[in-house]
């Protein structure tokens, strides 16, 4: 097992933090963009950039809606994203243990 076996979409530090945070939610739960931004201590632009890459890989679902007249954005981990994170976690554990 090498670091080449780790999913490059998730492996970037900021995206790993995003996916790990979303994976801590129950399946089907979602989080508001400002709350995720606060938890990760990221700028809106930086978080948006990483979410776009995760969305392109179909690892997250970004839902834009309105609450009254105010726009609201919610993020959730897709089943594909949860599966990818589980595989990433297993590969990283194996790499750290030195097994193949």
Using CA atoms, how far apart are residues 86 and 24, in angstroms rounded to an integer? Answer: 12
Q: Is 24 contained in some domain?
A: yes
Instruction: For residue 51, give its domain range.
Output: 3-90
The pLDDT of residue 4:
62
What are the tokens at 87?
Answer: 């595989």
Q: Is 19 contained in some domain?
A: yes
Using CA atoms, how far apart are residues 77 and 58, in angstroms rounded to an integer? Answer: 9
Q: What is the pTM of this model?
A: 0.91
Q: Is 97 contained in some domain?
A: no
Each residue's pLDDT tens digit, 25-80: 999 999 999 999 999 999 999 999 999 999 999 999 999 999 999 999 999 999 99
Looking up residue 71, the CATH number of its domain turns out to be 1.10.10.10
Give me the number of domains the chain comprises: 1
Q: Is 14 contained in some domain?
A: yes
The pLDDT of residue 74:
98
Residue corresponding to tokens 């739960």: 29
């Amino acid at each position: 097992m090498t670091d080449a076996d780790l999913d490059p979409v998730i492996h970037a530090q900021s995206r790993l933090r995003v996916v790990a945070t979303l994976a801590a939610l129950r399946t089907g739960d979602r989080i508001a963009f400002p709350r995720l931004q606060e938890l990760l201590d990221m700028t809106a632009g930086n978080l948006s950039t990483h979410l776009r890459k995760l969305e392109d890989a179909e690892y997250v679902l970004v839902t834009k809606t309105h609450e009254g007249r105010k726009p609201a954005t919610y993020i959730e981990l897709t089943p594909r994203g949860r599966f990818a994170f589980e595989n990433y976690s297993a590969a990283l554990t194996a790499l750290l243990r030195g097994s193949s």
